[in-house]
Amino acid sequence: MAAMQEFPSLSVVIPSWNQGRFIERTLLSIFKQDYPGRVEVVVSDGGSNDETVALLEKYNDKLIWWSARDKGFVDAVTKGLARATGEVVAIQSSDDYYLPGAFRKMAAAFAAHPEAGFISGGEYGIDLHDKVEYANSFAGPITPHSILFDFIPPQHATFVRRELLDKSGGMRAEVDMCADIDLWYRVAHFAPGRAIPDMLAAYQLHPDQRTVTSPKWFPNLVKMVESCEADPFYGQQHRLTDDERQNLYTYWEVNWTARRSMAEAGPIAWRKLPGYFGYSPRTRRTVLGATVTPLLKKLIPKGLLTKMRPVPGMAGAGPAADLSWWKN
């Protein structure tokens, strides 16, 4: 990989569609970064009919942008990447935003880990009232295996070398629901990523997200793995064992169905129950969560169940970062 300057040029590509109530926050979280390197912002809007276009016009001198009908998320990102010129590229959603110092921490991480093809930081998940619902962070190398079993790099807190983005071919429309995961998964075949514990971004939780109820998650994730293993290059770099495949696909099928509907996930999990003792701890928890746990909820008094439930580590707790920093 090419040597990178201390503060590499950065292109932030923002696919956009009717997120006018959030996108100004996204933009300000970029403009207000204390970063010495060149930062280019590319907004690929799919023809929004809310206040988005007015906001893009407001910041016209700081953006490359357009608003025209596209074929969805992957198409919007692909068009944005075609205009991006930075050594490093980030793909930021129009409803998520960066935390202070995110770009400097990215540059420092690339300098500390020159072997890294991409850098991924921690995230806060926030509700519509800016309350922190969860905090995720991870530290260490990111490989194809770790993406499948340990840690999925959050799109909104990840920065990738442009040269590796080009080698991977960018996002694939055939796995559009998990296109960002698929991108990191394929890039990691060329060079490992690096996860840093610093919190770099906030992820906005709201009911309008395309990722909440789609039935495409499980088949798209399976297609991601199977298509890569069938490819001469990717298949030679990483391949699942039979046991890993059984564990992973069982976990994905039950987990992603449960996110959409516990009523649908229950029968699937019951069918998977005979293989319980052959599963990994993560898969066991997921299968139990869709089978035995609902039964216990019916049998155990609600008050006792509440006392038994572990106290979440971050829910309701104040984050270290000022989530409203972009307003200043």
Q: Which pLDDT band, with edges at 50, 70 and 90, does 1 fall under?
A: confident
Task: Give the helix ranges, DSSP H, for 47-112.
Answer: 52-58, 73-83, 102-112
Question: 213 Cβ partners below 8 Å, 6+ apart?
Answer: 259, 260
Q: Which pLDDT band, with edges at 50, 70 and 90, does 206 fall under?
A: confident
Question: 100 Cβ partners below 8 Å, 6+ apart?
Answer: 32, 33, 34, 321, 322, 325
Q: Which of 41-45, 203-207, 275-279, 313-317 has the lowest mean pLDDT?
A: 313-317
- The whole-angstrom separation of Cα 55 and Cα 126 is 23
Q: Which pLDDT band, with edges at 50, 70 and 90, does 223 fall under?
A: very high
Q: Which of 126-130, 172-176, 232-236, 306-310 has the lowest mean pLDDT?
A: 306-310
Where residue 199 falls (left for φ over 0; alpha for ψ -120 to 50; beta otherwise) is beta
pLDDT digits (tens, 9 = 90+) for 59-89: 999 999 999 999 999 999 999 999 999 999 9
Mean pLDDT computed over every residue of the chain: 91
Task: Give the Å distances, CA to CA, from 253 to 144, 217, 228, 266.
Answer: 19, 9, 19, 11
Q: Which pLDDT band, with edges at 50, 70 and 90, does 321 fall under?
A: confident
Task: Return the pLDDT at 305.
Answer: 42
pLDDT digits (tens, 9 = 90+) for 86-126: 999 999 999 999 999 999 999 999 999 999 999 999 999 99
Task: Return the pLDDT at 308.
Answer: 42
pLDDT over 90 at 315, yes or no: no
pLDDT digits (tens, 9 = 90+) for 42-64: 999 999 999 999 999 999 999 99
DSSP 197: E
Nearest to 164 by CA among 150, 149, 185, 148: 185
Task: Return the pLDDT at 207.
Answer: 72
Q: Which pLDDT band, with edges at 50, 70 and 90, does 325 fall under?
A: very high
Task: Return the pLDDT at 292.
Answer: 77
Task: Return the pLDDT at 199.
Answer: 97
- The whole-angstrom separation of Cα 30 and Cα 27 is 5
Q: Which pLDDT band, with edges at 50, 70 and 90, does 184 fall under?
A: very high
Cβ burial 95-123 (10 Å sphere, 16+ → b, else e): bbbbbbbbbbbbbbbbeeeeebbbbbbbb
- The whole-angstrom separation of Cα 280 and Cα 274 is 14
Bigger pLDDT: 311 vs 208: 208
Task: Return the pLDDT at 293.
Answer: 67
pLDDT digits (tens, 9 = 90+) for 158-177: 999 999 999 999 999 999 99
